Chains A and B, each alone.
Chain A
């Protein structure tokens, strides 16, 4: 099956700093990728849709200026959490659809802890 990677797998940062998370599709091209956030013992909530060559589409209630998304190429999307605060601490997961498989492939996730 297709493989999606995320980097870093975990990160600890100080409040007020910015953190970048990368999502890569390793063996296929993805014009669209999705970013989810999962708080402890909760479900995955879609944050935004990352579109190669155009602006990301954000879900209601997600601050686009705080969660910057850049789909730099057909295999890479980045999520930057700007001016991170402790309430941004969460598990961030990306996914990339592969139409030939008619399914989405998930990255292993990134655990962000903001002190």
Chain B
């Protein structure tokens, strides 16, 4: 079974600054997918970024990037130039196949201050 661990229940960042959210996982699979999802107060799950385990290059989506360390089973999310709209719960998730069931971490609540 796969497990996903987010050790930071809450994080805070000032507007325009950079913040990194941590995620570690455990699996015996060699091929898998990792995701970061954002859940704002509306509770709609929004995909932030995705990483395929077979790709060595770290994924980047505008202000969002990941640091994927496969050997260490680590998958952190960096948010640059933080904006007020980035305030939300962030969930790290693991998927063993093409759009199969997701295993979520416990989440990190991100606050963005002025």
Q: CB of A98 within 8 A of chain B? A: yes
Chain A's interface size range is 20 to 34
Query: B54-75, CB under 8 A of A: which get 1 and which 0?
Result: 0000000000000000000000
Q: Which segment of A16-24, A42-50, A71-79, A81-89 sits at the interface?
A: A42-50
B104 and A43 contact, CB distance less than 8 A: yes
Query: How many residues in B have their beta carbons less than 8 Å from beta carbons of A?
Result: 20
User: Is the contact region of chain A dominated by helix, strand, or loop, or is it mixed?
Assistant: strand
Tell me if A108 is interfacial: C-beta within 8 Å of chain B. Answer: yes
**Are B44 and A43 in contact (CB-based, < 8 A)?**
no
> Which residues of B approach A to under 8 Å, CB–CB?
33, 35, 42-45, 47, 50, 91, 95, 98-107
Q: A44-B91, A93-B43, A95-B45 given. 5 additional CB < 8 A pairs?
A: A43-B107, A102-B33, A102-B99, A104-B102, A109-B43
